[in-house]
Structure 1
């Protein structure tokens, strides 16, 4: 399901919504998304028109000044690409043996942070062209607490376990170990101070509101099978492209076993927080 949508009021373009207004809602996701499933799940009695807009949200997707409201929920931590430096064995940021920026290698962390800043700016520039002057955009980000003083404290156990499973399968000879060194997850979790500074650096939006939302510090499930299914749904597409589909069942069987042996599902995720930001477009198209 897409968790991006853009709304445009039809008719005379007025932003005052009445029962006679014609409201058009655009759902955005990558071209691989199953839009038919999305549309089948929309309420039959909805009071709006719906359309799908396939394509990356880092790029412009709609005509100039055609939107009054845009919304993105827990999506912008996905990067447009893995930072090139972390896959270059000649770079100080080479992320050998790991699939994310956990650990004490500052160069890897900085490469991810730089890519996030670049991608967020591209997203804001694209939406600023699509929104009318004064249009609103609501964004929800999964975040880390701020400030991050010691990067060695960064720990994403769910991805560290996944990385260890890949290493185990490489040791079994299912693929070359170099494949693990060249695989990294394209995700980055910002923190509120960093996020605020990056938005303020962009000249197309004003921050109308920004706050930390109440968020449970515990995982949604203590069932290792359900949790493994959740992680598989998140990352299997990326893993298939890089390692092939043949190893997926064994990979996630191994992952489930490691989750059961770890304290992952029984420890509160104290580093998890959700940040809400409401922006107003000040770009005059």
Structure 2
């Protein structure tokens, strides 16, 4: 089978390729990143003000809803862009982080990461190592939708038909003793660049 691969600049939430130029789209562990952290999360007058946290993990429903709304908007843009770029009857395979229906995000491995990092940053703020206002303004641009949310977004968009959707058992990852050094390396690989940039070290 012949195929052509290319690296192109730009956001995957927007157009990247010419009309009807792609037969197969594959995205792996990218789409949980939303295009921006909603500004309302920093508004002290808003019910969605996310004070003392850096994510919607363990946050009030108003914060979760703001994240969910941004994710839905971004997915709508992503689906519209890929629909124009794919040839008729083209195929798309997406792998995303997800939240099982009814499970608090704080009980998932990544939720525990974010809670831990949030706690560390707040402790540093209390010790005046960093400014608390910077912690309050730091909201990670990640959202893990449920299967039901994805189905609703795709069906509402109308550009694609779901042929198959399945979820993996994330709780299996948590069995046995937790290897803290491995957790730290994972968190550093994912978060270091963004965290350093926020506090002016990048």
- TM-score by shorter chain over 0.5: yes
- Structure 1 residue matching 2:55: 3-state secondary structure: coil
Q: 1:171 deviation in Å? A: 2.1
Q: Distance in 1 between matches of 2:174 and 2:168?
A: 16
Structure of higher CA gyration radius: 1
C-alpha contact (below 8 Å) 1:183/1:242 kept by paired residues: yes
Question: Which one of 243, 247, 251 corresponds to residue 199 of structure 2?
Answer: 243
Q: Distance in 2 between matches of 1:218 and 1:107?
A: 29
State TM-score, norm by structure 2.
0.90
Q: Does 1:125 align with 2:105?
A: no
Q: Aligned residue pairs: how many?
A: 197
Deviations 1:29-61 (A, max 9, x none): xxxxxxxxxxxxxxxxxxxxxx21122110111
Structure number with the higher strand fraction is 1
Partner in structure 2 of residue 223 of structure 1: 179
Q: Distance in 1 between matches of 2:123 and 2:4?
A: 50
Partner in structure 2 of residue 45 of structure 1: none
Question: Which one of 190, 196, 203 corresponds to residue 158 of structure 2?
Answer: 203
Q: 1:224 to 1:104 in 2, by over 3 A?
A: closer
Partner in structure 1 of residue 96 of structure 2: 141
Unaligned runs of 5+ in 1: 1-16, 26-50, 247-285
Unaligned runs of 5+ in 2: none
State TM-score, norm by structure 1.
0.65
Q: Give the CA RMSD over aligned residues.
A: 1.9
Which protein, 1 or 2, shows the higher relative CO under an 8 Å CA cutoff with sep ≥ 6? 2
Q: 1:95 to 1:61 in 2, by over 3 A?
A: same
Partner in structure 1 of residue 62 of structure 2: 107
Q: Distance in 2 between matches of 1:79 and 1:229?
A: 23
Counterpart mapping for 1:74-89 below 5 A: 74-89=29-44
Q: Distance in 2 between matches of 1:119 and 1:71?
A: 17
